[in-house]
Structure 1
């Protein structure tokens, strides 16, 4: 089932490299507009939010649409790793608050060794 939006976390990723990847994957990327700590742009008609250092060295990338080339966070994470070569983390699926805190710490790590489920305590 296609997710309503895509969110991945990129370790030590360069914002310019991410912009170039978004332009290649989605279409032309508008200039980033800074609003407080976040940056927003539009890539191929898709609203994008970039939050530098959302969790330590990890930057959050949120694609606010279900019209991306990726069905879910994992497929986007795999594509981002292939294009950028930095470790990516994403949720294993949509998380709902009623699922509890333990499930909130379940993540998928994508790196040179492939993808694997990990526990990542982000608080």
Structure 2
């Protein structure tokens, strides 16, 4: 089942490299608009505009990348995280699937880590 949006976390990722990867993969990006600590733009993809949010240092040295659309080439966070690791060569983390508050706090700390060591499920307490 396709997720309605995508969110991944990239460790020490270069913002310009991320934008180059997304532009090559999805289409050109509009100018970035800074709102508080976040940056927003849209990617003009073949499937329409994809709203994009970049939050530098969302959790320590981890940057959040959020694509607010089901119209990406990735069915879920994990597929996007794998593609980001392949393209950028930085450690990437994502939720193992969609998460709802009613699932409880324990499941909120379950993450998939993708790095040069491979792929593994970890506990990552971000709050």
Q: Decide: shared fold, TM above 0.5.
A: yes
Residue of structure 2 in register with 1:95 after alignment: 99
Taking the aligned partners of 1:95 and 1:36, their CA distance within structure 2 comes to 26
Spell out structure 1 runs of 4+ moving beyond 4 A. none
Give the number of equivalent residue pairs. 123
Residue of structure 2 in register with 1:71 after alignment: 75
> Equivalences for 1:8-23 in 2 at 5 Å?
8-23=8-23
Taking the aligned partners of 1:70 and 1:24, their CA distance within structure 2 comes to 15
Q: Give the TM-score, by structure 2 length.
A: 0.95
For structure 1, the 5+ residue unaligned runs are: none
Residue of structure 1 in register with 2:29 after alignment: 29
- RMSD across aligned C-alpha pairs, in angstroms? 0.6
Taking the aligned partners of 1:121 and 1:30, their CA distance within structure 2 comes to 33
Q: Give the TM-score, by structure 1 length.
A: 0.98
